[in-house]
Every structure is written in structure tokens, then in C-alpha cells.
A and B are shown apart, each in its own frame.
Chain A
Amino acid sequence: MQVASCRWLGATCVRNLARVSSGSVFHCSDGSRCYAHTSPVTNFPKCELTSKRYPVTRGQFSQITGDDINFFVNLLGSHRTITDAAELEGPNTDWLGIVRGSSATLLKPKTTEEVSAILSYCNKRKLAVCPQGGNTGLVGGSVPVFDEIIISTALMNEVESVDTLSGVVTCQSGCVLEALDNHVSQFGLMVPLDLGSKGSCHIGGNVSTNAGGLRLLRYGNLHGSVLGVEAVLASGEIVNCLSVMKKDNTGYDLKHLFIGSEGALGLITKVAINCPSRPQAVNLAFFGLQTFEDVLSIYKDVKSKLGEILSSCEFIDASSLECVEKNLKLKSPISAHPFYMLIETSGSNSTHDEEKLNTFMEEALESGKVTDGTIATEPSRMQNLWNIRERISESLVIEGYVHKYDISLPLPHFYKMVEDMRQHLGTAVIRCCGYGHIGDGNLHLNITSKEFDQELMSRIEPTIFEWTAKVNGSISAEHGIGFKKRNFIHYSKSHSAIALMRQLKSLMDPNGILNPYKVLPDNK
């Protein structure tokens, strides 16, 4: 926790650096500016060990010994070989507080060669490892399940190069997304990825999980933006696919195997990302709507009328907004509505964009589809509006246990799912709410209860996955499979696809030491 004083307030704002999304972080030091009303500090629950809460058996891996520790200390030094239980508490627990491992070793390599040496040793010794970035994952993929050695990318945070002509940035995998974005902004570029956890998450973790975020609608997903990947296989072999070319059709495009495979096929050590030019004019509209049909209709209008400048189209329901207001004391800019939308435009000419957005807004208001709203063109106000959307996740955690689902659905079914689940669960839960990237058909369905309850869980799963499969949706749109969803993957992947995944896994990681108990279903 850090206390920073704010110049104009004459007061202090307290921030919890470790576990608060960047939305609440103020720029207070070194003469930079700061102006805000309040910043709540969030308390996170301590959860039960994953190995106790969930039916899962430890694999045939070796136990870590004193000799192993000696090897790591020789390689990295004692300050980068962490064995102190208190220091390991954070890296053993996920951000949501739903899974907790019991690892006794955390390694902090700085170079690809060190990662290679660690993995090569672990592979020989059959020691399981869990690669970890910013530990902001939402499906239990970034923390150990048992005693896997945690390999953190925290010290691998060098930016190697920025090609200002092509816009390609090459960096190590431990760069924090927001820091990387700030770095490339000096050159008029931006990282084509933005998500609520940008102040903590690592770019390597983003690539390993193929993170989506708020601007996927405009810039596409990481399979498109990532041009090259350098990864270390379980054997310690370094696979260099670090191309910086936009086109490279020489054989199998292996980098795609590492994008979205959640550290189970290799540990990503470097990435090359194609960065678009930073928009010079950004505007944001916040709309209130009465029905979900109006939401869909506005989405359609947005695409046709703002298409070329549209950079984000987000959806929030009344319950999600109420949660942010109640738990984080953020203020809604407009009166209460059943549904809300955030529409962002990014372009090069602010007058042109503002005029377009204003016309759109007037028409939307006249048509009656939008009944209230506001527009922000100033960065400070836009940030305040974005906070409402970006900090929903954080506000939910305060209510207790969060059952988190991240689902792709055909738009006509999008909100029906929330309504059906709400009815299905009734008063057994505190809240059942939905928000997300409507432009990508990606719903974040969240159910909160006071604490973890096995019975409640069995009422939600697999019903929710069956529902999704029935309408041909995906049970994980952008969060990945991780530990939590591995046994439900068949709802979205065919048996032959899962079989091929297993073959790839055994080819690239024959001993299964890389992030075990994740992605692939248990052997039955």
C-alpha cells in the first residue's frame, strides 16, 4: 500500500497498489496531476486450498528438495529464489480469491537463458512449474494447484525495440501492459489491447491467454496483432519465432500455438506486437436504455453510422452498475436505467468525430431508443466514465464469492442468458448480473454469493455451459480455460479437437510439467 499526497486536495489518497485495477490509480507523484474524490481500498477474502476445495489429484511429479533450491540459488541468487511462505501468499492466490495453491518456491528469472536453464532442470527432475505474469487471470490459470514452482516474469520487463516506421514493439514478456502502452505512446503508438487490469497484467500473460479487452472490436485479437513470439519449451529449448514482419508465410505459423495456450505448451519470454497509431481524438458516450432490444438496435446503428471511428461498444446492466455504485461508491453519470452502453470513438480529427457522435446522439435520443446519456471529450471525464465499466469486476469481489463466466453468445441470446440464470437461481444468490463487450458478442455473467457454496455451484455448472452449447456459443470468450473450466471444454470443442490438443501437449511437453491441471480436461 502506498500513500501519495495530492497537490490540490490537501488530502491524501490511499491506493492499494497490489490489487486494484488501474482505474483507481491516481497520477500523484513527480508533479503530475491528480484530482479525484475518493479511492476505496478493497479487502480480498482468503480462500481454501484448491487441492481441498476441488476434486483433483496431484500428478506424478517430484517433490522439491534442498538440492533443487541450491540449484536455483546458484542460478539466480537467493534474492530471486523466494521460499518465504509469507512472500508466497500472494503468488499462490488468484486475484478473485477462488483458488489457492501451496507452492513453496517462486523463481524470478531476468533472461530467456535463465528461463531455459530453469525449465531444462525441472524437466529432468520432473518438477512441475506454473508460469505467472501479473496474476490477474480469472479462471485459476495463473496460480499453482498443488506445489508447482512458480516462475514469475516480473523481472523480465525490458522493452527491446520500437520500430517507429512499422510500429512494431519487441519486448520481454513481463512488461506491464500499461507501462508498455506508456512507452510506445512516446512514439505516437498504442498497444492494441486495453483491459481493466492493465496496471498489473503482463504482456506475456495477455498473449498466453489471448486476452481480448475493450478494443478488440477495433483492433482484432492477439492472433492478429502479435507478429512474433519467443518461447521456451519444457525441455529448455528456446523456440525463436520472433518475427517482426507483418507477412511471413514460411511454414507452420508456430507462434499461434503459444498464443492462448495458457503456458501449457511453452513459456513466452518475448513478444513482437504490431502497434497502431495512437488516436488523436477520442470521444466517449454513455447511454441509458430501457430494453435489450434497444441495446441491439443501437449497436446496429453504431456500426453503420460510426463504423470507421468506432473503437469500443460496451454493455452494462442495471445490477452491475448498482454494484459499482454500492461497493466502490462510484457515481453513475445519468439516472437509473435497466441497461447502459458505452460507445467510444477514436479518430484523427476531433471536430469531425464530435460532430458525428453528436448527430448520432441526437438521432438516438429522438428515436426514443436512448432515453438518457452523456458525452465526454475530456480525458479526465472519459476516465471517470470508463472506471464505471472497468471496475465492475473489482466491485463484485467485495460481495464475497464470485462465480465468474465469460461467454460468447449470438446476440439475440445475449441477455436472455442472464435473465434465465437469475430466474433459475432466485434468492440463493446476492446478485446475478451481466456486462461485457456487446460488439464482440462477449458476455461477462457474474453471480455473487456470500461465500463459496458447493451446492450453489452445482446448480450453476454445468447448466450454464449446456445453455451456452445449445445456442452454439463459447464457454470461454476471452478468459481462457485455466483450472476452473478444463472439464467443461468439451462444451465448446469437439472430441477430435481435444484429442489433437493432447497430442500437441505430449509432443511439446512430454512430462507434462508446464502448468499442469490446466486447459486440458482430466484423464478419465
Chain B
Amino acid sequence: MSLKVLVGCKRVIDYAVKIRVRPDKLGVVTDGIKHSMNPFDEIAIEEAVRLKEKNIVKEVIAVSCGPTQAQETIRTALAMGADRGIHVEVPAKEMEKLEPLHVSKILAKLAEKEQAELVIVGKQAIDDDTNATAQMTAGILNWPQATFASKIEKKDDFLEVIREIDGGLETIKVKLPAVVSADLRLNEPRYATLPNIMKAKKKKIEKMKPADLGVDTTPHFEVIEVTDPPAREAGIKVEDVDTLLLKLKEVGRI
């Protein structure tokens, strides 16, 4: 009942928005584009709030790294039920060069600073799709990790986590403190309701910079080119099954 949870929530381009590559081919257009919380992080927040409702967790802290607008993402987390927020300010220009390793270092530092015993993040962000932050955070902290969680249960001093793995499910035990990454089936996130949106306005968001945590955000990667996926080619119609088989053989599918 004394558990403190740190939850990562990234601000990403909303999944219903069509993505456009920038003319300089070094990134995608983000100006004036609708953003929202990474859907998997929403699941992470939801899980933390549910653990709190079950009296397993005492405090839920939502963390987001990003420009000023990342506070809107934190505000959404607060309206869903997180207790307070931490905004790690990274200017928009630097944000696209911020790597999972940087975020992992930030989360690890914050987990130590806040004396959190559990870190929950989405399994991946839908913009860069790296799926690395949870694993590296666990590595830096030297904590056990339970990735792709579809069910979390607290038992004595450990968590029993069901993981989504290739071809089935795996049940593991992890000792606390631990890092968990949320998969799609873990839960269905709630909508923030009006009374909670109002309450969230009064909740505290602490601001800091990566440097305040002693984290150096010098990039390790250089983006060479960003391109659109190839356009789908038009299909062809065939007269009968025999021609179909012939064509499939020609392209080496059968």
C-alpha cells in the first residue's frame, strides 16, 4: 500500500491523423498537427490508476518528456486519475532527436529520486515504434523487467505478470522494484470525465530539464532520410483459376 508508481506518457501524433513527410526528408510534419497520448501509454496510466483503486498503489506520477504541449498529455493523465505530473522540458527541435536511451536515463533518475518501486510504460510509442524504453530503464536501474504485460497481479512482495509472447502467453514473477511495459490487452483505458478534468486542473505538474537530472541528451544517431512507405501498386484481374495459379507461380508465391 506504500507503492509509488512512475508512468511514462509520450505525446505523439494522433493515430487518426495522416502522417506527412517533411520536405527536407529528415522527419515528419508536426506543426499544427493534432497530437495525443501514445495509446500504449494510456494503457499504462490506466493500469496504474486501477492499481491505485485497488489500494495496491499509493501514488501515481505521470512523466512526459517534450515541449510545452507535453503538459497537455500530462493533464490528460491527471484527468484519468494520476496524482501529480513531472514535465521534463525538451524543446520541440531537440525532441525529434531524443532517443529511447535518453528517456530511459531520465526515467531511471526520476525513479530513484522519487523512490518509486514500479515503473510502467507503454510497450512502444506509435511514432518511432522502437520498443526499447522499458527494457533500457530496467537495465539502467538493474531492476527486473516484465514486458508486453497483458495482466498484472500483486502477490506478497512480487508481481505476477502475464506476458504476450510469440505463439502464446507467458506467466512470470518479478520482484519489486520492477519495470513493466503495457501491451494492448492489458486493459481498456477510461475516458477522462468532466469532474475529473476539472480536478486535474488543480493537480501539480513539476517542471525540470534533463540537465537537472544529470542526463546528457546528445544524440547518438543521425537521421539520414525519412521516406513515405511505397505506394501500393494496382492489382490485376485474371480470367479463371488456372490463370490465377499461373500468375501466382510467376511471382513465386506458390
The answer to whether B229 and A380 have CB atoms under 8 Å apart is no
> Could you say which residues of chain A place their CB within 8 Å of the CB of B188?
37, 331
Nearest A residue (CB) for B196: A374
Alpha-carbon distance between A29 and B233 when the two chains are bound, in angstroms: 12
Chain A CB within 8 A of B231 CB: yes
Tell me which of A132-140, A365-373, A447-455, A471-479 binds B.
A365-373
Interface range for B: 20 to 34
The binding surface of chain B is classed by DSSP as loop
The answer to whether B34 and A378 have CB atoms under 8 Å apart is yes
CB of B176 to closest CB in A, whole Å = 28
> Could you say which residues of chain A place their CB within 8 Å of the CB of B36?
378, 380-381
Alpha-carbon distance between A30 and B191 when the two chains are bound, in angstroms: 30
From B16, B35, B124, B198, give the contact of A33 (CB < 8 A). B16
Alpha-carbon distance between A379 and B33 when the two chains are bound, in angstroms: 10
Alpha-carbon distance between A31 and B229 when the two chains are bound, in angstroms: 6
Chain B CB within 8 A of A189 CB: no
Chain B CB within 8 A of A361 CB: yes
The answer to whether A375 and B197 have CB atoms under 8 Å apart is yes
Contacts A9-B184, A378-B35 known; A35 to B194 CB distance under 8 Å?
no
The answer to whether A377 and B34 have CB atoms under 8 Å apart is yes
Contacts A378-B35, A379-B34 known; A31 to B228 CB distance under 8 Å?
yes
The answer to whether B126 and A35 have CB atoms under 8 Å apart is yes
> Could you say which residues of chain A place their CB within 8 Å of the CB of B17?
33, 379
Chain A CB within 8 A of B193 CB: yes
Nearest B residue (CB) for A377: B34
CB < 8 Å A-B pair total: 77
From A35, A331, A335, A373, give the contact of B15 (CB < 8 A). A35
- Number of residues of chain A lying within 8 A (CB) of chain B: 34
> Could you say which residues of chain B place their CB within 8 Å of the CB of A361?
194, 197
Chain B CB within 8 A of A333 CB: yes
Chain B CB within 8 A of A32 CB: yes
Alpha-carbon distance between A41 and B19 when the two chains are bound, in angstroms: 28
Nearest B residue (CB) for A384: B191
From A27, A29, A374, give the contact of B191 (CB < 8 A). A374
Chain B CB within 8 A of A34 CB: yes
Chain B CB within 8 A of A334 CB: yes
Nearest B residue (CB) for A285: B194
Chain B CB within 8 A of A503 CB: no
CB interface residues, A 339-391, toward B, < 8 Å: 361-362, 365, 370, 372-383
Nearest B residue (CB) for A365: B194
Alpha-carbon distance between A129 and B228 when the two chains are bound, in angstroms: 47
Contacts A334-B191, A379-B34, A381-B36 known; A362 to B198 CB distance under 8 Å?
yes
The answer to whether A372 and B194 have CB atoms under 8 Å apart is yes
Alpha-carbon distance between A31 and B130 when the two chains are bound, in angstroms: 16
Nearest B residue (CB) for A379: B16
Alpha-carbon distance between A417 and B198 when the two chains are bound, in angstroms: 36
The answer to whether B39 and A333 have CB atoms under 8 Å apart is no
Q: Mark B231-253, 1 if CB is under 8 A from A, else 0.
A: 11000000000000000000000
> Could you say which residues of chain B place their CB within 8 Å of the CB of A335?
193
CB interface residues, B 17-34, toward A, < 8 Å: 17-19, 32, 34
Q: Mark B127-146, 1 if CB is under 8 A from A, else 0.
A: 00100000000000000000
Alpha-carbon distance between A381 and B195 when the two chains are bound, in angstroms: 18
CB interface residues, A 8-64, toward B, < 8 Å: 8-9, 27, 29-35, 37
Nearest B residue (CB) for A331: B188
Task: Count chain A CB atoms within 10 A of each CB in B34, B191, B228 and give the residue with the most.
Answer: B191
Chain A CB within 8 A of B192 CB: yes
Contacts A29-B232, A30-B232 known; A380 to B16 CB distance under 8 Å?
yes
CB of B110 to closest CB in A, whole Å = 26
CB of B238 to closest CB in A, whole Å = 14
> Could you say which residues of chain B place their CB within 8 Å of the CB of A378?
14, 16, 34-36
Alpha-carbon distance between A370 and B194 when the two chains are bound, in angstroms: 9
The answer to whether A365 and B126 have CB atoms under 8 Å apart is no
> Could you say which residues of chain A place their CB within 8 Å of the CB of B198?
362, 365
CB of A303 to closest CB in B, whole Å = 20
Nearest A residue (CB) for B123: A8
The answer to whether A375 and B194 have CB atoms under 8 Å apart is yes
CB interface residues, A 108-140, toward B, < 8 Å: none
Nearest A residue (CB) for B19: A33
CB of B79 to closest CB in A, whole Å = 9
> Could you say which residues of chain B place their CB within 8 Å of the CB of A382?
16
Alpha-carbon distance between A374 and B79 when the two chains are bound, in angstroms: 10
Nearest B residue (CB) for A36: B15
> Could you say which residues of chain A place their CB within 8 Å of the CB of B32?
280
Nearest A residue (CB) for B32: A280
CB of B47 to closest CB in A, whole Å = 15
> Could you say which residues of chain A place their CB within 8 Å of the CB of B126?
8, 33, 35
The answer to whether B14 and A373 have CB atoms under 8 Å apart is no
CB of A169 to closest CB in B, whole Å = 20
Alpha-carbon distance between A444 and B188 when the two chains are bound, in angstroms: 30
7 contacts between A and B (CB under 8 A): A8-B124, A8-B126, A30-B229, A362-B198, A374-B197, A375-B197, A378-B35
What residues make up the interface of A, taking CB atoms closer than 8 Å to B?
A: 8-9, 27, 29-35, 37, 280, 286-287, 331, 333-335, 361-362, 365, 370, 372-383
Closest 9 CB pairs of A and B: A31-B229, A333-B191, A378-B36, A379-B16, A380-B16, A373-B194, A374-B191, A33-B15, A35-B15
Given contact pairs A380-B36, A381-B36, a sample of 4 additional A-B residue pairs in the complex whose CB atoms are under 8 Å apart? A8-B39, A32-B19, A361-B194, A375-B197
